[in-house]
Structure 1
Amino acid sequence: MKASTFFLGLVAGSVAAAVTVLYSAPQSGNELRKTVKNATTDMKSKFQDVKGCVDDLKDSIAHLTKEAKEAIPVAIDGIKGSVEQWQQATEPNKERMEKEIAAIQKALEELEQSLAAQQK
């Protein structure tokens, strides 16, 4: 739902409620006009407050977007750097483990050959 649609509905509902309350109250014409004038002034003030809040929200969103555009690339670079450091730190262990696995495989092959020779 768009914000303009929401605020249009809010305004229409507020006006309908105000008119209903004003005309259902037992007042003289003069009192009714004063009440309508006061209600109109109050509604204008409230709408100005809502407009100010919406403007503040827009500014906050724009500021957040700007900061996110600056912070996200920095964070991504930091993560990439951390991953590269981790890869470099684990490389010696990886090579050592590959050598150990190769030695174990070779020992298994020799053991299989030894068992096959004994079974003959």
Structure 2
Amino acid sequence: MNAKALFSGIVAGSAIFGALTLLTTPKSGEELRENCKTGMLKFRSNLNQLTTDTKHASLQVKQTVNESKETFSKVGEEIKETIEDYRQDIEPTLIQLKEDIDALQRSVDQTKKIT
């Protein structure tokens, strides 16, 4: 392939592409630059808003985590207290049941001795 022909093809293609671009562009260069500038300003504004919202959300998550830790700690302590209260409440009943079982066992043993 000839380098001169390749170079000529690239130049001709570029010229044709440039001409087509100028003819098919719906806006003038100034309008296009203004639209790009406006788009960039909107993008920066949205990025700043996203950054602010992300920081706010991060603070809310940290606060929620701290509150959750405190709440779960309190709930855990209350559950422990409730279980301990339950154990203390049922302890007399358990002792009585053990005594009744022992008495019943003694009765069974005495009945066996008699028979």
Please indicate the TM-score interval, normalised by the length of the shorter structure.
Answer: 0.5 to 0.7
- Tell me which residue corresponds to 2:7: none
Closer, same or farther in 2 for the Cα pair 1:104/1:34, shift >3 Å?
same
Q: Indicate yes or no: 2:34 matched with 1:34.
A: yes
1:8-51, Cα deviation, whole Å (9 max, x unpaired): xxxxxxxxxxxxxxxxx733322211111111111111111111
Which runs of structure 2 are paired with 1:84-99 in the superposition (5 Å)?
Answer: 84-99=84-99
Q: TM (normalized to structure 1)?
A: 0.63
Which runs of structure 2 are paired with 1:46-65 in the superposition (5 Å)?
Answer: 46-65=46-65
Tell me, in whole angstroms, the C-alpha distance in 1 between the residues paired with 2:113 and 2:31.
Answer: 111
Closer, same or farther in 2 for the Cα pair 1:30/1:111, shift >3 Å?
farther
Number of aligned residue pairs: give it. Answer: 91
Q: Indicate yes or no: 2:73 matched with 1:66.
A: no
Per-residue deviation, 1:98: 1.4
Q: Which amino acid aligns with 2:66?
A: K
Per-residue deviation, 1:81: 1.2
1:43-90, Cα deviation, whole Å (9 max, x unpaired): 111111111111111111111122233333222222211111111111
Per-residue deviation, 1:109: 3.9
- Tell me which residue corresponds to 1:76: 76
**Structure 1: unaligned runs, 5 residues or longer:** 1-24
Q: Is the partner of 2:26 in helix, strand or coil?
A: coil
**Structure 2: unaligned runs, 5 residues or longer:** 1-24
Q: Is the partner of 1:98 in helix, strand or coil?
A: helix
- Tell me which residue corresponds to 1:105: 105
Tell me, in whole angstroms, the C-alpha distance in 1 between the residues paired with 2:103 and 2:84.
Answer: 28
Tell me, in whole angstroms, the C-alpha distance in 2 between the residues paired with 1:51 and 1:110.
Answer: 85
- Tell me which residue corresponds to 1:6: none
- Percent identity over the alignment is 22
Q: Which of the pair has more CA radius of gyration?
A: 2
